[in-house]
Structure 1
């Protein structure tokens, strides 16, 4: 006997001029937790509510919604709102949403329109400076984003969003186009003053830097050249960091038969280079990011006890240990004695 498909709950018939008709037509109120109001008259608000929702759908993006005439006028912004007037971001105009959507967070089921996790990234109030069919100027007051923005239509549903105010963080810098990684010098023995060092496993993998911005990721190799990342790593890693820009340093190693990106440094984070920040503080900031997923991990590090780490590396068949001075800066492209690679097994003399 063939099982019956679940019945789709029919949306109420649309009234002429119904601004939520497209929204209701795309959603089954019996399957999605999203608010799906009936065909009653639209509520009247103050036209001053805004929300930005982080949407982990097929492709990570952020939804900007502005209350206007009883609905939330909406744009999908793939890279999030720009933090500087130097860069415009694409904003795709989508269907109007009900006002109740400003409070919505939840998991839209697979098979439904917009399937994926939806969370509130920021919300607050806004003021309208101009509103037309081709241009919208607003002043946003949120906890994570504030300032004057303009949305302008380019073609069809495609708009652009531009920040009109100076950068939210005037000292912020974009990620570098390329960075050659710092390299350790090989030594036969561990440092004599272990309390001044942190110790990591040497993974024996391929050096890979990840440049994550707006939920997207690009990669460079050990010589700073652009390379393709492993399939699926870039988008998933970008989704975990969201809008936080970061430059990560690590290795693509084979662990338990699976390629895994082991991240062990963060030379740039949240618009600020960390090259002059001591290794200990960079590692603490990296740990705070909580990077862990099916294809990537934050590599462990151990202050002070190098002998135990070296013994563990031998037991696990790893190439060795990298000792890093706790006060060492990040020296791009340099082979520095502040980092030392100590092999698990001493080399045989010929």
Structure 2
């Protein structure tokens, strides 16, 4: 029998904005609502909730809902939540259970094909997620969620595992055809390639060795799967300055022109206490003068229509 005793025992209505309904009979619904909430708690995860017998039966998904039947995702069974939680979004205070920001990532309706203690088979109809899924227990509270339909993107590119960073060639002067290039500061930091896949980022240095990831970077990417290029600098403290995007959500960008990669990187709006999207400009002389004033090594000119490929990228380092 569904109940909310465990849910209430973990929350104090005076301290959390979450709905904490009084004890009493559970409401009756249609058992057809689902919600997925992006939860930036101690560890980023997605809360997957299905309306059933007057409550929201809930699982925590560290990597979200899978979009390919070849890959199952962990689903940790948690306490039932009240139906009112389907519309909850807000900040749970730090120190409280589940402290952190909660956002509604998707919601919609679902159909039940089978519901037993050993198998929950459903069809989702949401704005972002749709299709047939099954959840099944593996060990205690640990369940798995499996997509039963074909992949959402059958032609998706696999995420590259070992990208070698493009090294700019040193030149004495700015390009003559200045309008064919974008211009960035040369930061003089440690080159890092970051791999974000719905969780803590994996970071590799230019020599191929593992490196420490900027704290919170993977969580900032949220549901996105991305490969980033940048440098760890001491600008305002240790800051990862991100200046290229090499892969995004099933699509390799290595053959896309630099200008397009920068546009897509800007759309991610990556800005935080330990990482920033590096600026880029169309005036190389102004960037070189600013670099000189800020005691930076120089300016990097990158051809706008060039891919991220050795020998074709056309990156030029012009010292100040």
The equivalent of 1:281 in structure 2 is: 260
The equivalent of 2:210 in structure 1 is: 227
* Structure 2: segments with no counterpart, 5+ residues: none
User: Number of residue pairs matched?
Assistant: 320
Alignment of 1:241-256 (within 5 A): 241-256=221-236
1 CA distance for matches of 2:313 and 2:111?
A: 56
Q: In the alignment, is the contact (CA less than 8 A) between 2:306 and 2:313 conserved in 1?
A: no
Structure 2 SS opposite 1:288: helix
**TM-score computed with the length of structure 1 as normaliser:** 0.89
The equivalent of 1:339 in structure 2 is: 315
Match of 1:178 among 152, 162, 165: 162
CA-CA distance at 1:18 after TM superposition: 6.0
* Greater Cα radius of gyration, structure 1 or 2: 1
* Structure 1: segments with no counterpart, 5+ residues: 1-16, 345-350
Structure 1 SS opposite 2:206: coil
1:330 has 2:308 as partner = yes
Q: In the alignment, is the contact (CA less than 8 A) between 2:109 and 2:125 conserved in 1?
A: yes
CA-CA distance at 1:336 after TM superposition: 5.2
The equivalent of 1:295 in structure 2 is: 274
Show structure 1 runs of 4+ deviating over 2 A. 334-337
Q: In the alignment, is the contact (CA less than 8 A) between 2:166 and 2:313 conserved in 1?
A: no
1 CA distance for matches of 2:217 and 2:255?
A: 25
1 CA distance for matches of 2:308 and 2:93?
A: 44
After superposition, what is the alpha-carbon deviation per residue over 1:121-162, rounded to whole angstroms, capped at 9, x for unaligned?
000001111111111111111111111111110011000111
Structure 2 SS opposite 1:216: coil
Alignment of 1:251-266 (within 5 A): 251-256=231-236, 258-266=237-245
1 CA distance for matches of 2:144 and 2:54?
A: 24
After superposition, what is the alpha-carbon deviation per residue over 1:195-250, rounded to whole angstroms, capped at 9, x for unaligned?
11100000011110000111321011113x241324xx24x111211011110000
The equivalent of 1:316 in structure 2 is: 294
The equivalent of 1:56 in structure 2 is: 40
The equivalent of 1:5 in structure 2 is: none
The equivalent of 1:13 in structure 2 is: none
After superposition, what is the alpha-carbon deviation per residue over 1:245-272, rounded to whole angstroms, capped at 9, x for unaligned?
110000111113x111000000111110
Change (3 A) 1:156 1:322: same
1 CA distance for matches of 2:196 and 2:257?
A: 22
2 CA distance for matches of 1:251 and 1:35?
A: 43
**TM-score computed with the length of structure 2 as normaliser:** 0.97
1 CA distance for matches of 2:180 and 2:160?
A: 30
Q: In the alignment, is the contact (CA less than 8 A) between 1:216 and 1:239 conserved in 2?
A: yes
Q: In the alignment, is the contact (CA less than 8 A) between 2:307 and 2:313 conserved in 1?
A: no
Q: In the alignment, is the contact (CA less than 8 A) between 1:185 and 1:336 conserved in 2?
A: no
CA-CA distance at 1:175 after TM superposition: 1.4
1 CA distance for matches of 2:182 and 2:12?
A: 55
CA-CA distance at 1:337 after TM superposition: 6.6
Structure 1 SS opposite 2:165: coil
Q: In the alignment, is the contact (CA less than 8 A) between 2:2 and 2:55 conserved in 1?
A: no
Q: In the alignment, is the contact (CA less than 8 A) between 2:78 and 2:141 conserved in 1?
A: yes
